[in-house]
Structure 1
Amino acid sequence: MGTQAQNVQSSYARTDIDEKLAKQKELDDWLPITSSRNAKWWYSAFHNVTAIVGAGVLSLPYAMSELGWGPGVVVLVLSWIITLYTLWQMVEMHEMVPGKRFDRYHELGQHAFGEMLGLYIVVPQQLVVEVGTDIVYMVTGGKSLKKFHDTVCSSCKDIKLTYFIMIFAAPHFLLSHCPNFNSISVVSLAAAVMSLSYSTIAWGASAHKGVQNGVDYGYTAKTTSETVFNFFSALGDVAFAYAGHNVVLEIQATIPSTPEKPSKGPMWRGVVIAYIVVALCYFPVALVGYWMFGNNVDDNILISLEKPTWLIAMANMFVVIHVIGGYQIYAMPVFDMIETALVKKLHFQPSFMLRFTARNVYVALTMFVAISFPFFGGLLGFFGGFALAPTTYFLPCIMWLAIYKPKKFSLSWWTNWICITLGVLLLIVAPMGGLRQIILQAKNYKFYS
C-alpha cells in the first residue's frame, strides 16, 4: 500500500511538473524574446548597429568640445575597447551552462548573484536604460523632424516641438505590435543603414564646410567648477553612445543554437561587424565635427550644419528613420518584462488585447515624458552615467569574476578590475554633470512649448 501511495504521489508530482513546463513553453512561445529563434548572424549585426549607434553619435562633437582633444580621443578609444570587451563577455556567458540559455540580462544576473539579488541588481538598471533611451529617442526624433520641417520650409509657420514629438510617436503605436525581434528585422536593417548614412553626412558636410573662422578648441566654461561639471557630463554623453549591452542577450536569444553550433559563433561575428560600423560612424563624426566647429558646436551636430539645405534635411530624416528602429529595439525587452509580469504575477491570459493595451500605454508614457522634459544634452549625460555605466562598462565584468573566478592577479583579473574601476568612476561623476545641465536648461524652459 505504501509503495502504491508513493507511486500515486510521484505520478501527481510528475503531472504537476509537466503542466508547469507546458505552461512555461506556451508563455515562451508568446513572449517577444523567446518566440522566434531563427535569426541569422547578420540579424545580430544590424540589430547591434541599431542598438549602439543612435542619438549619442550626434552629440560626440559636443562631448569632444567639453573634454578637449587629448582627453576626448582617449575617452573615445577606451570606451570602444572596453565596451567591445564587455560585449564579448556577455556573448560568451549566454550559454555558459550546458543545455541552458540566458535569454535575458536579468537571467544572467540571477545566475551570477542569486535568484532575488540578481533581479534587484539588473532589472532596475536595465529598465532605466531602455525606458530612458526610448524617451531620449522620442526627443531626438521630434527635434530631427522639426529641423527637417524648418529646413525645407523656412518660411512656414513655426510649429511647437511638442507636436513633432507626437508625430514621431505615431508610427510606434503601430510598430510596437510586431510580436518579436525577428519581426522588426526590416525596420532594424533600415535603421542600421540610416545610422551609417547620417553619420557620413554629418562628418562629410562638416569637412566640406571647413574649419570655421575664429574656431576655438578651449573650454567655454568661465570657471573651473563649470569646466569640471561639463567634463563629467561629456563622459556621460560618450557612455550613452555605447548602449547596446542592454539588449545583446535578448538579440542572441533569437539565434538558433545546438551543442555543435552554439549561438555565440554567429552572434560574435555580427557584433564584430557592428563594432566596425560603430567605429566608422563615431570617430569621424566626433573628430571632424569638433575640428571644424570647435567649442561652438551644438549638442546635436546636425543643428550646427545649415547648408547644403537638401543634404541636412535628408540627414535629419535619416535620423528619424534610425531612431524609429532604435526605439523598437530598446522597447522589445521592456515589452517582454511587462508581458511576463502581467501573465505571471497578475495572472492575465496571454492575448492580443493584453499586448495591444500594454504596449500602447508604454508608447504613450514615453511620449508624455519626452514632451515634458526635452533636454537633449542633459538627458544624455544623466542617463549615460547613471544607468549605462553599470550595465555596459562594469556589470558584465563583475558577473565574469563571480562566475568564472579567474586567478588573482592574472590578465583576466586585472582587465576586469580596471574596467570595473573606470566604470564606477563614470557612474559617480557623469550623472552629476548631466543633472546640472538639466537644471540649468530647465530654468528657461516653458512646459509643452
Structure 2
Amino acid sequence: MGEAPVGCMQGEVGSDSKIHIMNDDGEIVSMDHYLTTDDQLPPDSKDEWNGIINDDWLPITQSRRGTSWTATFHLLCSGIGIQTLSLPLAFMYLGWFWGSLCLSVAFVWQLYTIGLLMSLHESVPGARFSRYLQLSIAAFGVKLGKLLAIFPVMYLSGGTCVMFIITGGGTMKLFYQLLCEDCSSKHPLTTTEWFLVFIFMAILVSLFCPNLNSVALVSLLGAIMAVGYCTILWIMFLAKGKIDNVVYDPSEAVTSESGRVRSIFTAFGIIAVAFRGHNVVLEIQGTMPSTPNRSSYKFMSKAVIASYLIIAMCFFPIAIVGYWAFGNKFPINGGLLTAITRTLNYHTSKPVLGLIYVQVIISCVTAFQIYSMVVYDNLERVYASKARQECSKLIRMGIRIFFGGLTFFISVTFPFLPSLALLIGGISLHLTFGYPCLMWIAIKKPPMKSVKWWLNLGLGCLGIGLSLLVVVGAVWNLVCRGLDANFFHPR
C-alpha cells in the first residue's frame, strides 16, 4: 500500500526548489519542483495523477490553515475522556504517595514523548511526517515500520471510536431514564437503539467536516464539555465531602499477596491508559502551515503547553478528590460516572446529573470526529491509490457511512469492550510511551551511549515493558474475575 506523500513547501512561493517525498517503498526522494500556491495552479493540474497521492486529497492534510488555537482544541478534545474518571481507582490500589508519584511520572513521561513526536514531524529537511505510520516507516523501514505501527494505529483509532459508541450510547440511555423516570412509555429504546442514535449523530457531524482542520469548532465544543464534566465532578465531590467510614489503606482494598500484585498492575494500566491521543498528535500538527521562518513546531508547542496545563488541572483533581471522597469504597467498574449515578444519585439534583450526562455525550460525539479522521484518511488513501484520483463527495460520504456501520456492528457485537479497556489500551500503549523514543533514536541518530541515547533507549524499552505489564495485568484480572461476555446483548 503506497504511503501518502510528506512533501512540504520550503522557501518562497513561486521559486524553484526541491521537495522531499515518501514514495511507495517508504524512501525519501528529492525532486525538482516549482512551488506555487493552490490558487496559482490551473484547475485541472490539482487533480492530475502523477503517480504520487497528493496530500491535498486526504482529509488530515487537505487544509493546512490550523493555528495554535485549533490545535489546542483538538488536543483537549482528544486527550480528555471517560477513562479519566477511573483515576481514583488507581489511588485506591497504590495509596496517596505512590498514586501521586505514578500519576506525576506518567504525565511528565507522556509529555516528553509528545515533544519528541513534535520535533520529528519535520526532522527530514523539506519533509513533513503528518501521520504516525509515515514516521514509523521513516524510522524503522517499510516492512518493520508498517508491522509496528499500522495495526496499533488503526486498531487504536477504530477501537476508540467503538468505545465512544458504547459510552455515549449508554450515557444517552441514562440521560433518558433520568428525564423520564415517571414516563408511561411501555416501549423505551433499547441500548442497541441508543447506540444507533449515537452513531447517527456522529456520522452526521462527520459529513459536514471533510478534513481535520474543519473539525476545529467541533473540537472546541468537545473540549469545553470534557473539561466541564471533569471540573463539575471533582468540585461536587469536594463540596459534599467524604462518604461514611472512608478508609485510605491499599492493603485493605486487596488482602491477598497475589491480588495485591495484580492490583498494582491494574493501577499502572489505569494511569497509563488515561493519557491518550498520541496517535493523532502528528496529524494535528499536520494541519498547521510551516515555513522556513516559522515551523509548525512553534505553533504546536504553544498548543501542547496550553492544553496539557488544562489537562493536568482535570486529571490531578479528579484523582485526588475522587480518592479523598471514596477511599477504598470507590467503585471498581465505571469510575466516577458510576459513583455519581449509584452512590450519590439521591443527593445530586437532576439538573446537575443531567448536565454531566449531556457533557459526556457531546464529548464522545466530538472526540469521535478526531479519531475517526485517521481511519477516513487511510481509507481515502487506499481509494486514491487505486482510482488515481481524489475521492468525490459521494465516495467520501460512503466511506464515513461504511465506517459508522462497521463500528456500530462491533459495538453491538462486543458491548462488553469497556470491561476489556485495560487489555485493549495496553496493546497499543507503546505508541504513547515507547515508540516515540525509539523513533527519535533511529531518525536523529545521536552519538551512541550519549545521555540522550541512553535516556531515549531506556524510556523506549520501559514503554514497551509497561505495555506488556498492563496486558499481563489485564489478562490476570480476566482470569481471576471472569468476563460477562454479553455478545449481541448490550445492557
Q: Shared fold by TM > 0.5?
A: yes
Equivalent-residue separation in structure 2 for 1:292 and 1:277 (angstroms): 22
Shift of 1:408: 3.7
TM-aligned CA distance change 1:447 to 1:227, over 3 Å: farther
Alignment partner of 2:434: what SS?
Answer: helix
Q: By how many angstroms is 1:176 displaced?
A: 2.2
Question: 1:281-337, CA deviations, whole angstroms, 9 ceiling, x for partnerless residues?
Answer: 100001101110123223320221121332122012101111111111111011101
Shift of the 142–333 alpha-carbon distance from structure 1 to 2, 3 Å rule, reads same
Provide the rounded CA distance (Å) in 2 between the counterparts of 1:396 and 1:444.
35
- CA distance in structure 1 between the partners assigned to 2:127 and 2:163 by the alignment: 35
Check the 8 A contact 2:47/2:390 in 1, yes or no.
no
- Measured after TM superposition, the shift of residue 424 of structure 1 is 2.0
Q: Which residue of 1 aligns with 2:21?
A: none
Deviations 1:340-374 (A, max 9, x none): 11221476762222222221111122122222333
Q: Which residue of 2 aligns with 1:111?
A: 138
1:433 correspondence with 2:473: yes
Partner-residue secondary structure (3-state), 1:170: helix
The answer as to 2:34 corresponding to 1:35 is no
Asked if 2 retains the 8 angstrom alpha-carbon contact of 1:147 and 1:303, the reply is: no
Deviates more, 1:187-196 or 1:117-126: 117-126
- 2:435 match: 395
1:205 equivalent to 2:236? Answer: yes
Q: Which has the higher contact order (CA 8 A, sep 6+)?
A: 1
Range moving further from structure 2, 220-229 or 97-106? 220-229
Partner of 2:396: 355
Deviates more, 1:216-225 or 1:331-340: 216-225
The one-letter amino acid paired with 2:215 is I
CA distance in 2, matches of 1:199, 1:136: 18
Matched, 1:141 2:174: no
Structure 1 stretch displaced more, 248-257 or 114-123: 114-123
CA–CA distance in structure 2, aligned partners of residues 145 and 322 of structure 1: 12
Matched, 1:173 2:203: yes
Q: How does 1:231-270 map to 2 (within 5 A)?
A: 231-270=264-303
For 2:315 and 2:419, the matched residues in 1 are separated by 20
Q: Are the equivalent residues in 2 in contact too, given 1:135–1:366 (CA < 8 A)?
A: yes
Aligned residue in 2 for 1:410: 450
Q: Is residue 2:192 matched to residue 1:162?
A: yes
**1:92 maps to 2:119:** yes
Amino acid at match of 2:459: C
Matched ranges for 1:5-404 at <5 A: 22-23=49-50, 27-156=54-183, 160-177=190-207, 178-217=209-248, 218=250, 219-298=252-331, 299-305=334-340, 306=345, 307-345=348-386, 350-375=391-416, 377-387=418-428, 389-404=429-444
Q: Which amino acid aligns with 1:302?
A: L
Q: Contact (CA 8 Å) 1:47, 1:189: kept in 2 or not? A: yes
Q: Which moved more, 1:21-30 or 1:103-112?
A: 21-30
Structure that is richer in helix per residue: 1
Partners of 2:263 and 2:166 in 1: CA distance: 21
Distance 1:19 1:35 in 2: 12
Q: Which residue of 1 aligns with 2:12?
A: none
Find the aligned partners of 1:20 and 1:183 in 2 and give their Cα distance: 21
Equivalent residues, number: 434
Moved more, 69-78 or 87-96: 69-78
Deviates more, 1:122-131 or 1:219-228: 219-228
The answer on whether the counterparts of 1:130 and 1:334 sit within 8 Å (CA) in structure 2 is: yes
1:176 is paired with a residue whose SS is helix
- Offset, 1:376: 5.9
Cα distance change of structure 1 residues 20 and 360 upon mapping to structure 2, 3 Å threshold: closer
Q: 1:399 to 1:21 in 2, by over 3 A?
A: farther
Deviations 1:247-304 (A, max 9, x none): 0111111101111111100111001111101101100001101110123223320221
The Cα shift of 1:411 comes to 3.0
RMSD: 2.5
Q: CA deviation at 1:436?
A: 4.7
The whole-number CA distance in structure 1 between the counterparts of 2:319 and 2:335 is 11
Partner amino acid for 1:56? Q
Q: Which segments of 5 or more consecutive residues in structure 2 lack a partner in the other structure? A: 1-30, 33-44
Aligned residue for 1:171, secondary structure, equals helix
Q: Which amino acid letter does the alignment assign opposite residue 196 of structure 1?
A: V
Tell me which moved more, 356-365 or 371-380.
371-380
